Structure 1
Amino acid sequence: MTDNTTAEPIYLPDAVPPTNHGHTVAAWTAMVGVMTGALVSAVGCLPGVPFAIFWAGLVIVLLACVAGLVLRNMGYGQAKPGVEPRRSASSH
């Protein structure tokens, strides 16, 4: 039988670290776009499917990367040290 009256101290940081490992609108937009473009390109490689579908998938990938960069520069991406990230109203 264990004694639950004594517990080890818990050492937690005072605040959440400023990194979020890509859990941002910019990162998710880029990731979903790249995955969609890769899927479209893969379908374009199948026999009987026009090869233009492959190139359309690559265009989707390119547009997703540009969209991720634009969103990051608008403040919806990973914050740089010393810069406060943009917060949505629901995160307060």
Structure 2
Amino acid sequence: MKRTIHWGLLTSLLLAPAMTVAAQAQQPGPSKERAPSAAKITEEQAKKIALERIPGEVTDVVIEKKRGKNVYVIEIQSPEQGEKDVFVDIQTGKIVGTD
């Protein structure tokens, strides 16, 4: 009986880390492709809005929190201004800043 209990405990201890890793692997991580479910502005719309402010080529898009709001950070390579970031609010589509 003790042997069965010991094997059960040993098995649990050995499998617990593997089960934790497997559970973490199944959870989706942050993605620059996926907007939060509350987003009213799509990534494509945000790119268009940003390019109206600073013409150029979009080189990257990520979602970050800036000035207390979730924003798309649209990185643009502009011939006139070099590399610029435009922050587009994911709720309203308004530009909340540039960098």
Asked if TM exceeds 0.5, the reply is no
Larger radius of gyration: 2
TM-score calculated relative to the size of structure 1: 0.27
Q: Which has the higher helix share?
A: 1
Q: Which has the higher strand share?
A: 2
